[in-house]
Amino acid sequence: MVSTIHGYPRHGRDRQLKKAIEGYWKGRIDQSALLDQVRDIRQTRLRTMVEAGLDEIPVGDFSLYDHVLDTATLVGAVPERHAGLSGLDRYFAMARGTDSIEPLEMTKWFNSNYHYLVPELTAATGFALDPGSLLEQVDEAIAQGVTPRVILVGPVSFLSLSTSVDQDATFQPIQLLERLLAVYAELLTALAERGVAWVQLDEPIAATDLDAQTAAGLTRSLEVLGALTDRPKLVVASYYGALGENLDLLANAPVEGLAVDLSAAGRADVEALRAHPGLAGKRLIAGVVDGRSVWRTDLDAALDLARTVGAGAASVDVSSSCTLLHLPHDLTRETELDPRLVAQLSFADETLAEIVTLARGLAEGDEAIAAELAADRQRRETRRTETWLRDDAVRARAAAVTEDDARRATPYQERAAAQQAHLGLPVAPTTTIGSFPQTGEIRKARAAWQAGRIDDESYVSQMHDEIDRVIQLQERIGLDVLVHGEPERNDMVAYFADQLTGIFATRHGWVQSYGTRCVRPPLIAGDVARKHPMTVEWTTWAQSRTERPVKGMLTGPVTILAWSFVRDDQPLGETARQVALALRDEVVDLEAAGTAVIQVDEPALRELLPLRRADWQAYLDWAVEAFRLSTSGVQDRTQIHTHMCYAEFGDVIGAIDALDADVISLEAARSAMAVVDELAADGYSRQVGPGVWDIHSPRVPDVEEMTTLGRTAIERLGRDRVWINPDCGLKTRGYDEVEPALENLVAAARALRS
Ligand code: GLN
Ligand code: ZN
């Protein structure tokens, strides 16, 4: 009975990894300094897990940028355009591109806010093992006296998460399985030689609906790797949901262990696992502690689960349900959070402690952890009965919502005419997604204000100056619908969370979103209400500085939920409705203040989509209702925009339509406008701004490139329905990129018009 996890946060509790890598990119440190710092971060990380008392430590879950990218380089799946480079240059070129080479596409990792880089494969991809970096980490761990369990992205998940770039449209990455297995076999031999006892193959794809070929591939891969003679023992792991019909594939595989998600998400498997014949003689790693939840674990329930679920297994280990990558590091630094809330929370380090406690209870009996169990019972009772997070007025208002409240009375075509009469926009109007670069001065001003070093008046005047600058810039460049630039927002969710009751911000709760980008998800812990208007002052100030329309910018209810840690004591849809009502009041206030265009961003709509199709409709019902509830309080002539990025939208086109927004801007540049075809094929009838500039790369596209993309969109959708805009907000870019790129974008729109 050991305690373990599937992965631990990578960025360091002070985001040292981000600082090191970005320092390297900017030329502040050289490669060897970077590698030294990275080694340091990795060793500190291992030490944390060891000192927490974890028996078995994951190794290989660390990554400089992304673990799927690491796997691609590990198995030699390097696209031709990057193949001329080597080492870190190649790695970062694949991750973020260079001036002349495009990076891999990036997309959401399962139903999380983590983004991975999508490996590109063709029928001709020849894999070749490049294990240097992984073996270095293994050696490092062993040298530190750690018992590693090496975590690998499993071959079938790797292929399923990859994309085909083959000419032949019938080619599917899964067809490369045999070739890839040969490389995994070689790797397992190398790991056995290093003295690694256990290797875990992460196959979270098993928590999704599999086609027959992928399911057969899963069986086949475990047979092939299981049959190897010179190999470490193997655990196959799945997480982020229940295995359902895929459970037998994994449980019956000829390997030595199975790791399963037994958090609420995976709980449905418990009955099938109990005394499963495939578990005989095997090690079961029971993920009884939710690796993605910040709420404390019900220790009694977890212990009970761990004791019963593995009746048929040789041993049962206590683990998190998945990697702790999605959790902030530690709660002890959150000294400003209400202690009543702190008492209910557990971040990565507290989760380690829970797992260690449970393993001890399992091994030594309840008495060994009697104090912990008693404290936890008390804690649960407190959460159930305390009232400080309750707002009965909010509950009553949410309960009274009717279908009509979530519907704009007039159909889109009529609204569009009223909006065009009101706004008078040209063909192919140009706009941006909201944020402008966050300069050092803005960040400094915000930090100073938050720390109380400058007063409201001087803060507001600095923000006004910035808004003025951004408005002037947009006027000079010639954009049609302007934005105020969002200088007052550090984060598009946190900004609203700070102004809503029931939601709490952390100080240090950073979680990796992609590469070096970390976010600090707020905690939605209670009933949500708006205290006062949240954006009206900034938007009206911006509007007062220009004749052109300024778009009001809000973050949508689904995204606020997706990018927060949400209370687990009521259905998500219930919480979404409360947030939607607060936003609805803001939308109505913006309109009343003279805002003619209002954008409600929902970049995370696709992200929360359940992994199983059977669960989609129930989710989309509440998600769509929440968006509509927040946007339907306005007159016909007020134009509602929404924005989405980073997703395969094909799955949610129907829901995008059902949002009934007048205009949607979408990430499209990296995928060469594929989304436009999906919308056209679905008969989508409203206006669309498919991004013509991939703002996640430092590359500035030229006029011709953006014109070509815009033309493609116009050919597919028709000339009155296309907007020209970037893929996403500009806050992570610098003005040296933004100015030329927006000039090119406006020039492209003009070329298209003529
Ligand atoms: N309005 C936001 C911005 O421009 C949207 C960001 C996003 O889609 N993630 O920053
Ligand atoms: Zn975006």
Q: Pick the residue whose CA is nearest to atom 4 on ligand 1.
A: 729
Binding site for L-methionine, by residue number, is: 433-435, 486, 601
Average pLDDT (625-638) is 98
Average pLDDT (478-488) is 98
Average pLDDT (40-47) is 96
Average pLDDT (229-235) is 96
Residue-level pLDDT at 383: 97
Q: Contact at 8 Å (CB) between 623 and 654? A: no
Atom of ligand 1 nearest to the CA of 434: 4
Pull the structure tokens for residue 620: 């989309």
Pull the structure tokens for residue 199: 């290797």
Residue 670: pLDDT over 80: no
Q: Cα 286 vs. chain centroid, distance in angstroms?
A: 25
Q: What is the DSSP letter of 7?
A: -
CA distance 753 to 369: 72
Q: Contact at 8 Å (CB) between 695 and 726? A: yes
Residue 646: pLDDT over 80: no
Bridge-partner residues for 566, per DSSP? 524
pLDDT tens-place string over residues 108-138: 899 998 999 999 999 999 999 999 999 999 9
Ligand 2 centre from 287 Cα, in Å? 33
User: How many other CB atoms sit within 10 Å of the CB of residue 691?
Assistant: 28
Ligand 1 centre from 665 Cα, in Å? 11
pLDDT tens-place string over residues 445-467: 999 999 999 999 999 999 999 99
Q: Is 307 exposed, middle or buried (0-12, 13-18, 19+ CB in 10 A)?
A: middle
Kindly list the distances between the CA atom of residue 94 and the CA atoms of 77, 152, 318, 726, in Å, as whole numbers in the listed order: 11, 20, 36, 21
CA distance 191 to 198: 9
Average pLDDT (290-317) is 96
Atom of ligand 1 nearest to the CA of 643: 8
Q: Is 464 a catalytic residue?
A: no
* pLDDT interval class at 263 (50, 70, 90): very high
Ligand 1 centre from 344 Cα, in Å? 31
Ligand nearest to the CA of 553: 1
Pull the structure tokens for residue 468: 């003025």
Atom of ligand 1 nearest to the CA of 728: 8
Residue-level pLDDT at 645: 85
Q: Contact at 8 Å (CB) between 384 and 318? A: no
The conformational region for residue 39 under phi > 0 = left, psi -120 to 50 = alpha, else beta, is alpha
SS3 labels along 308-366 = HHCCCCCEEEEEECCCHHHCCCCCCCCCCCCHHHHCCECCHHHHHHHHHHHHHHHHHCH
Ligand 1 surroundings by CB, under 6 angstroms? 433-435, 486, 492, 553, 601, 603, 643, 645, 728-729, 731
Average pLDDT (226-248) is 97
Ligand 2 centre from 72 Cα, in Å? 26
pLDDT tens-place string over residues 671-680: 778 889 999 8
Kindly list the distances between the CA atom of residue 327 and the CA atoms of 15, 107, 181, 491, 732, in Å, as whole numbers in the listed order: 13, 19, 32, 17, 23
User: How many other CB atoms sit within 10 Å of the CB of residue 518?
Assistant: 17
In 3-state terms, what secondary structure has residue 118? strand
pLDDT tens-place string over residues 416-425: 999 999 999 9
Ligand 1 centre from 281 Cα, in Å? 51
One DSSP character per residue, 197-261 reads -EEEEE-GGGGSPPPHHHHHHHHHHHHHHHT-SS--EEEEE--SS--GGGHHHHHTSSSSEEEEE
Atom of ligand 1 nearest to the CA of 553: 1
Average pLDDT (280-299) is 98
396-411 CB burial, b ≥16 within 10 A, e <16: eebeeeeeeebebeee
Residue 42: pLDDT over 80: yes
User: 217: Cβ–Cβ under 8 A, 6 or more apart, which residues?
Assistant: 155, 156, 159, 174, 177
Q: Pick the residue whose CA is nearest to atom 10 on ligand 1.
A: 729
User: 467: Cβ–Cβ under 8 A, 6 or more apart, which residues?
Assistant: 484, 485, 487, 538, 541, 542, 545
- Pick the residue with more confidence: 272 or 266? 272
Ligand 2 centre from 200 Cα, in Å? 34
Q: Which of 108, 431, 432, 492 to mutate to test the pocket of ligand 1 (most atoms within 8 A of CB)?
A: 492
Pairing of strands 500-504, 257-261: unpaired
Q: Which of 470, 563, 727, 728 to mutate to test the pocket of ligand 1 (most atoms within 8 A of CB)?
A: 728
CA distance 209 to 439: 44
pLDDT tens-place string over residues 326-385: 999 999 999 999 999 999 999 999 999 999 999 999 999 999 999 999 999 999 999 999
Binding site for L-homocysteine, by residue number, is: 433-435, 486, 601
* pLDDT interval class at 593 (50, 70, 90): very high
Binding site for 5-methyltetrahydropteroyltri-L-glutamate, by residue number, is: 18, 108, 113, 517-518, 563, 607
* pLDDT interval class at 647 (50, 70, 90): low
Ligand 2 centre from 728 Cα, in Å? 4
Residue-level pLDDT at 536: 98
Return the closest-CA partner of residue 576 out of 510, 624, 542, 515.
624
Atom of ligand 1 nearest to the CA of 731: 10
Ligand nearest to the CA of 555: 1
Pull the structure tokens for residue 39: 């080694």
Q: Pick the residue whose CA is nearest to atom 1 on ligand 1.
A: 434
Bridge-partner residues for 687, per DSSP? 663
pTM: 0.93
Q: Contact at 8 Å (CB) between 316 and 286? A: yes
Residue-level pLDDT at 627: 98
pLDDT tens-place string over residues 698-709: 899 999 999 999
* pLDDT interval class at 107 (50, 70, 90): confident
pLDDT tens-place string over residues 318-341: 999 999 999 999 999 999 999 999
Ligand nearest to the CA of 691: 2
Pull the structure tokens for residue 225: 């790797």
Q: Pick the residue whose CA is nearest to atom 9 on ligand 1.
A: 603
Ligand nearest to the CA of 432: 1
Q: Pick the residue whose CA is nearest to atom 5 on ligand 1.
A: 729
